């Protein structure tokens, strides 16, 4: 079933048996400023949109397009914190997302979300670990900006991938706009399998493009690459790792998996993170249980109490500012936990650093389920 921003704000994970709360249209002050939390690292952050075109394959959703074109936003440690901040969404992207939501708010509301990254800033450093982030279905790549900026402030290069025709809309540098063509396709099991395998192909292409780039290649250490994603973006991490051994570690944040992990399994580090279950850490996620048995390396299964599906993303942060109830754990608190555990995971597995948060829960809301 196609999810909107409203159900993403209030609903639980894909295939959850719990019905989402009914959405509502908040009253919005025209002078209201929406913002993302500041990064927690000590490095200034820059960001740059990058256009990529894969001529080796047609678009999977619009076969008449004989190539796959993607927009990726790169986040990285910057040489300076001074300069204009990056725009969150274009006017067309904001209007499409808000129209899909049914919210009675100004269509350009999301263009003014305050970010922390300096647009087009000069990168600082070289041979830095790279993390690819993949957003949830129908969500623009920008909805993982808070996490991306935080990782970059801690010394990571982050490739926030947009998956064309799989979100409410993508603006391209030449002015054309790609809507959600995949939304018109029946959302059966074959659809979700195609989606996850297609994202795995997108991620491999992004890695090829960045590591071979004269501009960006020197910034990246190709031997230290990780991937994380939310919802279907997280579910795509396992097939991406199976298809591409350059990805050394992966995280699935609240995404039900549709492509089974089969023998010989996956020996590289992997972490599941899910919203609150009832009962806590209760059985019933057959997809994750199936894949958990095939994970033969370092692994964790983390649950965060008081959260919903969108609590881990900017959708939760923005929704809370618009008056949407996301549970007993605030959106800011959920984002802090998400950032802490994503950073800790990649610090341990891409940098070899000890992070005690992975050995024992660092917050009262956090439980290790497996």
Residue 17 lies in a domain: no
Mean pLDDT for the chain overall = 92
Residue 305 lies in a domain: yes
- Quick one: what percent of the chain has pLDDT higher than 90? 85
Residue 356 lies in a domain: yes
Give the pLDDT band of residue 29 (cuts 50, 70, 90).
low
Give the pLDDT band of residue 313 (cuts 50, 70, 90).
very high
Indicate if the alpha-carbon torsion angle 333, 334, 338, 339 is positive or negative: negative
Residue 26: predicted pLDDT: 55
User: Residues 61, 165: contact at Cβ < 8 Å?
Assistant: yes
Residue 18 lies in a domain: no
Q: Which two tokens stand for residue 258?
A: 């549709």
Give the pLDDT band of residue 316 (cuts 50, 70, 90).
very high
Residue 21 lies in a domain: no
Q: Which two tokens stand for residue 245?
A: 């051994």
Residue 282: predicted pLDDT: 82
Give the pLDDT band of residue 27 (cuts 50, 70, 90).
low
Give the pLDDT band of residue 251 (cuts 50, 70, 90).
very high
Residue 102: predicted pLDDT: 81
CA–CA distance, 214 with 217 (Å, rounded to integer)? 6
Percent of residues in the chain assigned helix, strand, coil, to nearest 5: 30, 20, 45
pTM across the whole model: 0.93
* Section 180-199 average pLDDT: 97
Give per-residue pLDDT as tens, 215-232: 999 999 999 999 999 999
Least reliable range by pLDDT among 31-40, 266-275, 340-349: 31-40
Judge whether residue 322 has pLDDT over 50.
yes
Residue 236 lies in a domain: yes
- Quick one: what percent of the chain has pLDDT higher than 70? 92
Residue 344 lies in a domain: yes
User: Tokens 């350009």 belong to which residue?
Assistant: 108
Give the pLDDT band of residue 28 (cuts 50, 70, 90).
low
Task: Give the CATH number, domain containing residue 113.
Answer: 3.40.50.1820
What is the extent of the structural domain holding 201? Answer: 5-11+32-368
User: Tokens 């936990």 belong to which residue?
Assistant: 337
Residue 325: predicted pLDDT: 84
Q: Show Cβ contacts of residue 145 under 8 Å, excluding neighbours closer than 6 positions.
A: 36, 73, 88, 115, 117, 160, 314
Give the pLDDT band of residue 17 (cuts 50, 70, 90).
very low
CA–CA distance, 180 with 167 (Å, rounded to integer)? 5
Residue 2: predicted pLDDT: 32
Residue 25 lies in a domain: no
Give the pLDDT band of residue 340 (cuts 50, 70, 90).
very high
Judge whether residue 15 has pLDDT over 50.
no
Q: Read out DSSP for 211-271? A: HT-TTTGGGEEEEEEEEEEETHHHHTHHHHHHH-TTEEEEEEES----S---TT-B-S-EE
The more confident residue out of 7 and 289 is 289
Give per-residue pLDDT as tens, 141-183: 999 999 999 999 999 999 999 999 999 999 999 999 999 999 9
CA–CA distance, 202 with 197 (Å, rounded to integer)? 9
Judge whether residue 104 has pLDDT over 90.
no
Least reliable range by pLDDT among 15-24, 232-241, 305-314: 15-24
Instruction: Count up the domains in the chain and report the number.
Output: 1
Judge whether residue 122 has pLDDT over 50.
yes
* Section 243-252 average pLDDT: 98
Report helix, strand or coil for 50: strand
């Amino acid at each position: 079933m196609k999810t909107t921003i409203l159900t993403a704000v209030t609903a639980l994970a894909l295939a959850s048996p719990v019905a989402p709360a009914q959405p509502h249209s908040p009253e919005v002050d025209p002078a209201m400023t929406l913002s993302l939390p500041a990064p927690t690292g000590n490095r200034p952050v820059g960001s740059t949109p990058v256009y990529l075109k894969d001529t080796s394959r047609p678009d999977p959703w619009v076969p008449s397009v004989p190539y796959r074109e993607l927009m990726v936003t790169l986040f990285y440690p910057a040489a300076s914190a001074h300069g204009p901040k990056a725009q969150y969404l274009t006017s067309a992207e904001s209007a499409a997302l808000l129209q899909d939501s049914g919210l009675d708010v100004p269509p350009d509301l999301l263009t003014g979300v305050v970010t922390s990254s300096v647009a087009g800033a000069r990168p600082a450093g070289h041979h830095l670990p790279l993390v690819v982030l993949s957003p949830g279905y129908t969500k623009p790549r920008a909805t993982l900006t808070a996490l991306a900026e935080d990782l970059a402030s801690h010394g990571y290069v982050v490739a926030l991938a947009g998956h064309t025709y799989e979100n409410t809309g993508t603006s391209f540098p030449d002015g054309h706009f790609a809507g959600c063509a995949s939304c018109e396709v029946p959302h059966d099991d074959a659809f979700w399998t195609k989606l996850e395998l297609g994202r795995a192909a997108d991620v491999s292409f992004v890695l090829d493009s960045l590591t071979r780039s004269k501009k960006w290649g020197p910034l990246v250490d190709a031997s230290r690459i990780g991937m994380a994603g939310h919802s279907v973006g997280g579910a795509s991490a396992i097939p991406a790792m199976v298809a591409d051994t350059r990805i050394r570690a992966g995280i699935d944040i609240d995404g039900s998996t549709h492509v089974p992990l089969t023998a010989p399994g996956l020996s590289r580090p992997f972490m599941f993170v899910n919203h609150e279950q009832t009962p806590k850490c209760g059985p019933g996620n057959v997809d994750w249980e199936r894949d958990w048995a095939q994970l033969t390396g370092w692994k964790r299964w983390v649950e965060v109490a008081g959260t919903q599906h969108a609590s881990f993303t900017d959708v939760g942060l923005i929704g809370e500012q618009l008056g949407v109830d996301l549970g007993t754990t605030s959106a800011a608190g959920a984002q802090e936990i998400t950032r802490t555990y994503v950073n800790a995971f990649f610090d341990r597995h891409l940098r070899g650093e000890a992070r005690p948060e992975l050995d024992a829960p660092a917050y009262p809301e956090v439980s290790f389920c497996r």
